Amino acid sequence: MKNFSINHKKVDDYDVLELSGELDAHTASQLENALKRLIDNNQHLIIVNCEELEYIASAGLGVFMAYIEDVRDMGGDIKLSNMNPKVYNVFDLLGFPTLYDIVQKEEEAIRKFENEESE
């Protein structure tokens, strides 16, 4: 099995999922389970920190697409941060920057959430 892990942490009202390793067809279920758990617990202000993510395949991208509407229907969002250029390129090729906030740093994602809440 590929090397992949998810670390979940709370930062104020936000749930941060720190991805590490390779997200592909063999490991996508781990991300799916983590997102399902957050949604089931009515946690919908989600930041996915990709700083340690080395690779993403279409199965991993599909997990993001499968849950974004559920999260947004709850009044929340999934924001992506800290991508290396190789991983960002995969998201960019598939048009994700038009669907998701993709920011340089986790702190920027928090600021975007705070700005949205104050509008």
Each of the 119 residues of the chain gets a pLDDT tens digit; together they read: 469 999 999 999 999 999 999 999 999 999 999 999 999 999 999 999 999 999 999 999 999 999 999 999 999 999 999 999 999 999 999 999 999 999 999 999 999 999 997 77
**What pLDDT sits at residue 117?**
78
**What pLDDT sits at residue 42?**
96
Query: What gap in Å lies between CA 37 and CA 43, rounded to an integer?
Result: 8
- 54 to each of 22, 23, 83, 116, how far by Cα in Å? 6, 8, 9, 30
**What pLDDT sits at residue 86?**
96
Give the DSSP H or E segment for 14: strand 14-23
* Secondary structure (3-state) at 16: strand
Domain topology for 4-100: Transcription Regulator spoIIAA (3.30.750)
**What pLDDT sits at residue 2?**
63
